[in-house]
Structure 1
Amino acid sequence: MVARIIVTFTTILMILNSIKLVQAESRVPCFFIFGDSLLDNGNNNNLNTTARAHYPPYGVDFPGGPTGRFTNGRNMADILAHVLGFGNFIPPFASASGRDILQGVNYASGSAGIRNESGKTISRIVNLLGNKDATNAHLNKCLYSVGIGSNDYINNYLMPEKYQSSRLYTPSQYATLLTQQYAQQLKTLYGDGARKVVLFGLPQIGCIPQMLQTQKTRTCVDSTNEAVQLFNDKLKSLVNELNNNFTDAKFTIVNIYSMSSLFSGLSFLNFPCCNVSKTVAEGQCVPNTAPCPIRAAHAFFDNFHPTETGTMVAILRAYYSLLPSDTYPMDINHLLLSGLLGG
């Protein structure tokens, strides 16, 4: 079983590395990223928070070493940018400057939510391009990816000792509340010019190492997965609503929940690759410790975040749906081909 999975991952790596070689230029002129630590590429490095990954063993397989990415190598934003044909990584908001912002900015950080700084970037693009009409035309052609919500469960709803949300709301009510808040953020993003938007659904949080260790079990926590899936189901309805209301835009979902089921029954893959902390930054890698030698044999690098290889599987299936359930209503490739404004 392990050998077969490693061979599969190696094949996917070869496919991903070959995609860029046949593209003369990037498929979109710009790519903007919003989300949490699954997409963060350094925005938290200088913030007063324990959610930072600017130290080894994070980055052990990344060309620049530790950069703030919560994994051993590239994260979802990096790999998707590679597949799109960008020659460089999309810069984090914390260090984006000059004309670099015209190709996009990564706003993701270790906390969920769409960052307020996006308005500042639009003002800077107006200054670079000369007027608002040119800015709107440019932003309409970009791809936008959003991946938020995991922290609303891991660091809120599933922590009854610290938060009252699980006592105030049933799982269905909480999913509805989150979806309503998410809808407002996505409508704001549309108002700022987004016309092609990829939403990453939530994974099977009941199967992550942190949950298994907290619940002292080797099998996935079904009640947690069921609660998360309620949010994903409502997100699908939201996408239908947005696509119906904004006919000059297209929103699509990547079904990370279904993809993560590959590992749900393989408990030996759900052990973190690094030694994880049990104190301040609980569940993150202990600084300056050696990670496991064969990262490709692990689904998770720490207690929360996937390894680069696991991420590659998700991005390939998001870009070219291997199963009809991988994306809805279309994969990223067809989203880029859709005949929308600027498409």
Structure 2
Amino acid sequence: MACQLKTLLMLLVFLLISNLQHCVNGRPQVPCLFIFGDSLSDNGNNNNLVTMAKANYQPYGIDFPEGPTGRFTNGRNIGDIIAELLGFENYIPPFATAPEGFEILQGVNYASSSAGIRNESGQHLGNRISLDRQLQNHQYTVSRIIEMLGGNHRATIYLSKCMYSITIGSNDYLSNYFLPMFYPTSQQYTPEQYAKLLIQQLTLQVMTLYRYGARKVVLYGLSQLGSIPAVLSLCGIVSSSCEDSFNKVVQLFNDRLISLVADLNKNLWKAKFIFINTTSMDLEYTSSTFQEEGFKL
């Protein structure tokens, strides 16, 4: 899975930078990168929260130069790989420790482990920064950028050239819908209704990001949750039908996310959105889809 994800990320960045114009050697391919999401992208925002969802201790970070930093991996995470391939000299800093100076012009990472599209997702683990709160934090960053650049017009032009990455939704299932002992959602909604509800809320959140100036947005689909260790343990090693049921529920979300991306591209002026299928290795199809969408920076 790690190799597949890296391949998809490399393909994404290759397609983005292959369409760049007037690039300057030695500089990042985009002026800034803003990262939203959960533990797949969190690089330290949960470190000082009262929560069980934190990773600023070993063995996390054993292959990362700085050691344990709050990244939920032995080394780099999704945001780090994207930043590196886009040519940033440093990784995008977490909002929790982001500098107040001109460094924020290169971007901020707002991701928080156990966070979800829904505000209550992950609450049984303790504090987390939901996507709504991440957007509030980004609003503060945008206000600072407006001050630095000397007005709304200059900030709008600048932000429109930036890249925005959103990896969210897994916890709305793993730390909400699939935990009926903590959350009532599985009794309140069928899988189809819940997927529709999540996409409706995500649509509002993406539109908020659009109002803040985002025009180049990458939305990651959910992976096959039936294959992760926690679900395998829950289902048992011989119950493949259980694993399949998890995957089918998540696919309902992915299908609606694909439709959302198509609608956003059709209806939002001068904006381009891309859906990343993290479960597919049909790179030829993915490449042709990106080229047809004409995603340019």
Matched, 1:132 2:148: no
Q: Distance in 1 between matches of 2:252 and 2:211?
A: 27
Change (3 A) 1:217 1:203: same
Q: Distance in 2 between matches of 1:132 and 1:102?
A: 14
- Map of 2:262 onto structure 1: 240
Q: Deviations over 1:2-40 (max 9, x none)?
A: xxx99x78x96xx89xx89x9632110100000011000
Secondary structure at the residue paired with 1:34? strand
Matched, 1:256 2:217: no
Q: Distance in 2 between matches of 1:225 and 1:119?
A: 34
Secondary structure at the residue paired with 1:251? strand
* CA drift at 1:168: 1.1
The answer on whether the counterparts of 1:252 and 1:329 sit within 8 Å (CA) in structure 2 is no
The answer on whether the counterparts of 1:125 and 1:135 sit within 8 Å (CA) in structure 2 is yes
Give 1:89's aligned amino acid.
Y
Matched, 1:323 2:271: no
Q: What is the alpha-carbon root mean square deviation over aligned residues? A: 2.6
2:64 to 44, 62, 65: 62
Q: Distance in 2 between matches of 1:77 and 1:101?
A: 15
* CA drift at 1:165: 0.8
Matched, 1:144 2:164: yes
Secondary structure at the residue paired with 2:110? coil
Moved more, 213-222 or 135-144: 213-222
Give 1:211's aligned amino acid.
V
Q: Where does the alignment leave 5 or more consecutive residues of structure 1 unmatched?
A: 260-320
Change (3 A) 1:23 1:256: farther
Secondary structure at the residue paired with 1:198? strand
2:74 to 72, 95, 100: 72
Q: Deviations over 1:201-225 (max 9, x none)?
A: 1000011011001112254700110
Change (3 A) 1:201 1:255: same
% identical aligned pairs: 52
Secondary structure at the residue paired with 1:33? strand
Matched, 1:35 2:37: yes
Q: Distance in 2 between matches of 1:190 and 1:334?
A: 19
Secondary structure at the residue paired with 2:95? coil
Q: Deviations over 1:139-193 (max 9, x none)?
A: 0110001011000000011111221111111111100000000000000000000
When normalised by structure 1's length, the TM-score is: 0.72
Q: Distance in 1 between matches of 2:147 and 2:55?
A: 33
Moved more, 158-167 or 65-74: 158-167
- Map of 1:212 onto structure 2: 232
The answer on whether the counterparts of 1:23 and 1:85 sit within 8 Å (CA) in structure 2 is no
2:49 to 39, 47, 50: 47
Q: Where does the alignment leave 5 or more consecutive residues of structure 2 unmatched?
A: 18-23, 117-130
Secondary structure at the residue paired with 1:74? coil
